[in-house]
């Protein structure tokens, strides 16, 4: 008889009797201790893209940036830049108009020999942006007073977007506007898009007092999204009755757009040279750089990202929110 199997059986019975001396709960604890190290999987690394724009000492956007001039940190740890591009990410644009900033009649009623009304000037400015930049990507159009109404669904059709704007009229459905509600709806819709870059361009005259009272909530909303906000404001230096002072509108709109690394433009600073606003907006949109690197962050647990530029006297404008995950 081969003694090896008998000895092995005796050994197994001894181990069984040893384990039976422990209470079931303790046995489970021992088993848990044994497998715990294997349950803690290393964090999954994945590619991440972040966007930023850079201005020089003259506050002009930098168009010839080199990768060697940029450093990116995630949770204070340097990250190797593996991808760098300018204005090359798939983008979705949203044009949102305060209904009061739209013409009440067609272009045939444009006054001759007089200053162009704000409403027509605002729409003409939107046409320029579509023709020169926005029409190359996916675009949608919305209008608001108390709520946001989408009048042109997202599509790569600049002509269709311009036609939708042309058909809009400026008669209000409600006496007072409420920008907060419109931006909440627009941001929610943008966050559901698959494009890695999402840009809202807002046309308004002045900020409503109801939204001004909700600025903290609105900034939190925008900073936690991947939406860049640009605003073109037609506020007059002398506020009309029932509207907020222009100085307050300017201050709050600057704060709101800067939260998203966007910009606010005020027609009072350009007199009647609205073409300069279009060039300035397009220049900003075209000089946003995208950087790719490998990250440990996830959408559920975003990291803290810092972008630095070594060019003297340069300034960085980057979105403080979670990056766009591939």
Per-residue tens of pLDDT for the chain, all 326 residues: 444 445 444 444 443 443 344 333 332 222 333 334 444 555 567 788 788 889 898 888 898 899 999 999 988 899 999 989 887 778 999 999 999 888 877 654 555 556 678 888 899 999 999 999 998 899 999 999 999 999 999 999 999 999 999 998 887 666 788 999 999 999 999 989 988 789 999 999 989 999 999 999 999 898 888 889 999 999 876 655 456 778 899 999 999 998 888 899 998 888 777 788 999 899 888 888 888 888 877 666 767 788 999 999 999 988 665 555 54
**From CA 138, how far away is CA 254, in angstroms rounded?**
26
Instruction: Say how many C-beta atoms besides its own lie within 10 A of residue 15's C-beta.
Output: 9
Closest residue by Cα to residue 190 from 232, 145, 140, 155: 140
**From CA 151, how far away is CA 165, in angstroms rounded?**
8
Contact call for residues 43 and 294 (beta carbons, < 8 A): no
C-alpha dihedral (184, 185, 186, 189), degrees to nearest 10:
120
**From CA 317, how far away is CA 231, in angstroms rounded?**
16
Q: What are phi and psi of 208, to 5 degrees?
A: -80, 150
pLDDT of the residue at 31: 30
261 SS3 class: coil
Instruction: Say how many C-beta atoms besides its own lie within 10 A of residue 6's C-beta.
Output: 10
**From CA 22, how far away is CA 26, in angstroms rounded?**
6
Residue 291: both structure tokens together: 């950087």
**From CA 135, how far away is CA 281, in angstroms rounded?**
14
Closest residue by Cα to residue 204 from 151, 246, 259: 246
**From CA 277, how far away is CA 280, in angstroms rounded?**
5
Bridge partners for 110 per DSSP = none
Contact call for residues 295 and 303 (beta carbons, < 8 A): yes
- Tell how strand 197-204 and strand 324-325 pair up: unpaired
pLDDT of the residue at 115: 67
**From CA 305, how far away is CA 242, in angstroms rounded?**
42
Q: Which residue has the tokens 């108390």?
A: 146
Give the DSSP H/E element, type plus range, for residue 108.
Answer: none
Residue 139: both structure tokens together: 């675009």
- Tell how strand 148-155 and strand 315-318 pair up: unpaired
Contact call for residues 88 and 81 (beta carbons, < 8 A): no
Sheet architecture: strand order including 77-79:
77-79, 70-74, 305-309
State how far the alpha carbon of 318 is from the alpha carbons of 2, 3, 99, 269, 315, in Å.
76, 75, 30, 25, 10
Contact call for residues 126 and 165 (beta carbons, < 8 A): yes
Q: Which residue has the tokens 């308004």?
A: 204
Residue 50: both structure tokens together: 């972040």
pLDDT of the residue at 169: 85
């Amino acid at each position: 008889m081969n003694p090896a199997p008998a000895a092995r059986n005796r050994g197994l019975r001894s181990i069984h009797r040893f384990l039976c001396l422990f209470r079931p709960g303790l046995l489970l604890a021992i088993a848990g201790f044994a497998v715990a190290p294997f349950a803690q999987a290393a964090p999954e690394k994945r590619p991440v893209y972040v966007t930023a724009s850079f201005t020089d000492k003259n506050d002009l956007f930098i168009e010839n940036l080199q990768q060697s001039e940029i450093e990116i940190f995630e949770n204070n740890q340097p990250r190797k830049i593996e991808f760098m591009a300018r204005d090359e990410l798939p983008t979705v644009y949203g044009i949102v108009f305060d209904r009061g900033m739209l013409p009440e009649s067609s272009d045939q009623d444009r006054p001759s020999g007089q200053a162009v009304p704000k409403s027509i000037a605002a729409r003409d400015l939107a046409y320029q942006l579509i023709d020169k930049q926005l029409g190359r990507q996916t675009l949608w159009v919305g209008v608001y007073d108390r709520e946001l109404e989408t009048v042109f669904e997202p599509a790569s059709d600049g002509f269709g977007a311009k036609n939708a704007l042309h058909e809009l009229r400026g008669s209000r459905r409600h006496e007072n506007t409420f920008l907060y509600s419109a931006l909440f709806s627009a941001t929610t819709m943008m966050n559901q898009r698959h494009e890695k870059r999402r840009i809202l361009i807002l046309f308004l005259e002045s900020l409503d007092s109801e939204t001004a009272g909700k600025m903290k909530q609105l900034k939190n909303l925008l900073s936690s999204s991947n939406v860049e906000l640009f605003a073109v404001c037609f506020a007059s230096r002398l506020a009309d009755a029932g509207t907020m002072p222009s100085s307050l509108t300017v201050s709050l709109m600057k704060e709101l757009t800067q939260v998203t690394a966007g910009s606010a433009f005020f027609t009072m600073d350009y007199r009647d040279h609205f073409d300069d606003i279009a060039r300035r907006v397009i220049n900003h949109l075209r000089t946003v750089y995208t950087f790719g690197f490998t990250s440990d962050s996830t959408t559920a647990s975003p990291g803290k990202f810092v972008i630095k530029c070594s060019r003297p006297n340069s300034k960085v404008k980057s979105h403080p929110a979670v990056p766009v995950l591939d």
